[in-house]
Amino acid sequence: MPVKTITDLHVEQGMPVLVRVDFNVPLRADGSVLDDRRIRMAVPTIKCILDVGGIAVCMSHLGRPAGTGPEEKYSLSPVADVLQMLLGAEHRVHFVAGACRGPMAQAAIDSASPGDVVLLDNLRFEAGEKAGDAAFAADLAALGRAYVNDAFGTAHRDHASMVGVPAAMQAQPRVAGFLLEKELQFLGEAIAAPKRPFIAVLGGAKVSDKLNAIRNLLDDVDSIIVGGGMAYTFLAAQGKSIGDSLVELEMVSTAAELLSKAQQAGKAIHLPVDHVCAQRIEAHVPTQVCKGNVPDGWIGLDIGPATIELCTRELHTAGTVVWNGPMGVFEMPPLDMGTQAVAQALRAATERGAVTIVGGGETAAAVKAAGVDAQVSHVSTGGGASLRMLEGLSFASVACLEEA
């Protein structure tokens, strides 16, 4: 459903605008922000409000607090510091420590000047956020005169700030921010009207995590490349020996059904033809390339050179590529070669004019590690949400926004 966006929103001087952002960022051991990408991605939407004299009231969750009150290790205080640095001295960030509603939040908004930001503390300090509690949502809604959803990373969650707040603000503007708009555009159009050939690259550990995506994509894609630990469940379904590799025994018959369905539909599912194997999982472990079967006592931990060549050749033809999930244990050299190669193949495909979309936290980290995150068409900020879109699901949080 096409929805109104922040460019349709009329912001008056000093008007408080609720902005649901995704500041669920990784933190270092000392509590500082390790990766500020999600914060940087929200800045254009925030500045769109600030530059016309509005007050951006930002709300987000961070980590998994118990929901019984403030917990210092999950405070958004480090995020406030990064946001202030990104916005500069022109805009002041007011942080509401320990509270996301009530008198403290309202006092911070009342004392803010046009062009300021008020950052509420972690929404999940209150159980009402994950429970979708209507009273909690109403308290949040009372803090603003318009609602902007720019949190694609939680778009698939029916939480209070995502669904309850816009539901409580039916008489007020409810629009998508720039980031949510971009995510819906890229992922939505990739599935609905892809430039062909349309190729999906799926990795990660488990078939069960990607099962619904594979089922949905088989109707739309021209081929699927499967790597990562999930490939060994498919290979087991073909009767191949997989040694001590990861396998979901309860999913073997399902994998066989998917392979049969793809064959009947004339869609190729490309599985690894060789593997980088080791006898244990650790960095710089001795490895060997195993062609075909994986020997007993060995674990398939990455795609091998012949499979890399197959993937590169396949991606060379692509018009659209959607990639979700690494090809191996990419965090541990030399088990990152397959994932790195796919990342470079996506960069080359983009240069040839293909639309290339990367979804999922691990996959986003992989393209960043490969130095090509700025050279693909789009890197999604939401792993779970992007996977739900590949499954063909719609989001209640988007349906709550105003139709364009």
**Helix, coil or strand: residue 47:** helix
The secondary element (H helix, E strand) that includes residue 361 is: helix 361-369
Catalytic residue among 67, 98, 188, 384: 384
384 is catalytic: yes
38 is catalytic: yes
User: Half-sphere exposure of residue 12, counting CA atoms within 13 Å on the CB side?
Assistant: 6
Catalytic residue among 37, 130, 206, 215: 206
Nearest to 45 by CA among 79, 14, 11: 11
Catalytic residue among 53, 361, 368, 392: 361
End-to-end CA distance of the chain: 8
Catalytic residue among 38, 124, 157, 388: 38
List the structure tokens of 165.
Answer: 């707040």
Give the C-alpha separation, 315 to 355, whole Å: 11
383 is catalytic: no
Strands 355-359 and 16-20: unpaired
280 is catalytic: no
Residues recorded for the chain: 404
Is the peptide bond between 334 and the residue preceding it cis, with omega within 30 degrees of 0? yes
**Going by C-beta distance under 8 Å and a sequence separation of 6 or more, which residues neighbour residue 110?**
none
Nearest to 302 by CA among 324, 331, 323, 322: 331
Enter the DSSP assignment of 398: H
- Cα distances from 216 to residues 170, 191, 219, 303, 395, in angstroms, run 33, 10, 6, 25, 16
Q: Which residues are catalytic?
A: 38, 206, 361, 384
